[in-house]
Each structure stands twice: as structure tokens, then as C-alpha cells.
Amino acid sequence: MRDVPMRRGMKRKHKRLLAVLGLVAGLGVAAALVLTAFNDNLVFFHSPSDVAEKKIAADKRFRIGGLVEAGSVKKDGLTTEFVVTDLRHAVPVVYTGMLPDLFREGQGVVANGKLDAEGRFIASEVLAKHDENYMPPEVADALKKSGQWHEKPGDHAKLKPGS
């Protein structure tokens, strides 16, 4: 007689275990579906390849992200012109205003603005994108001197052309 409530207790425990597992699995699937559906809105910036392939409307505001092409920065007073590249496509950017500390050639940037008729990106805001590497300046200099410095996009801005 005594093992009847015991067995019922075990059953209830299993039911609760299944309910919790079901809740977590269901939520995981729901979250994955929602995130996939809103994928485009969760992207903080578009790459120059996105711009080339998706043909973003000339008057639509968006953010563009990529590397500042080496040798492309031209300053004229407060106005800066530079080229943002993902090493497949490149977009010229014009910006008037203060640049963040980390802005420099070869560095990742994210600019907010819109394309003009000539395909230039007129930015109202430029943010520097930091990379995942941390090292003392002497080490960076030593790496550059020894030729071990890798200027590839994976080392700088996270870029996923066409994603």
C-alpha cells in the first residue's frame, strides 16, 4: 500500500522534469524563429558588399561598416573623406564632424547616413569599431617590425559580406 503514493510522487517528478525541459526547448525554438525572422533588423550595420548587392534606396538611412582603406583618408578642415571597404567592395564616405579616438586607416568603422546620387555615403555619425586584440604598444610595434602583423579583416572589424 505504501509504495502507491511513492510511485505517484516519482511520476509527478518526471512530469515536472518533462514540463521544464519542454518549456526550455519550446522557448529555444521560438527564440530561434523570432531571431531568424528579425535577422535583418538585428544587424547593426551593412557591409559595402550588402550595399553593392542589395541596392539600398538612395534616400534610406542606414549604417555602413567596414575597414577604413589605407591611404584613403583626406581631411579638409572638419570634413573627412575616406573609403570603407570589406575587401570585396568599397564605398566612399564623406563626414563632417569630430572623429572618435580609434578612427584610423586600417581600423574598423561604422558610419550612419545615406547614399547620395553619386553613390557616396554622406555620414552624420562615425563610430570606431574596436577589434578583439589587446596588446601593449611595444608588442604591436615588434609584430609590425618582424612582419608578423596580419592586416586581415578578421583581425579588425567582424565583417560578413552578403550575410
Residues at the site binding another protein, with contacts judged by CB under 8 A: 13, 16-17, 19-20, 23-24, 27-28, 31, 35, 39, 42-47, 65, 98-103, 107, 110, 125-141, 158-160, 163
For 43-88, where are the E strands, in sequence order? 62-68, 74-76, 79-85
- Please say which residue, 118 or 152, places its beta carbon nearer to another protein: 152
CB of 31 to another protein, least distance (A): 5
Residue (18 or 118) nearer to another protein, CB: 18
End-to-end CA distance of the chain: 64
- For the bound state, the minimum distance from the C-beta of residue 97 to another protein, rounded and expressed in Å, comes to 10
Q: Which is nearer to another protein, 118 or 134 (CB)?
A: 134
CA neighbor of 87 nearest in space, from 47, 145, 127: 47
Residue 96, strand partner residues: 79
Alpha-carbon torsion, ordered 29, 33, 34, 38, to 10 deg: 150
Q: How far is the CB of 102 from another protein (least distance, A)?
A: 5
Please tell me the number of Cα atoms within 13 Å of 80 on its side-chain side.
20
Nearer to another protein, 1 or 68 (CB): 68
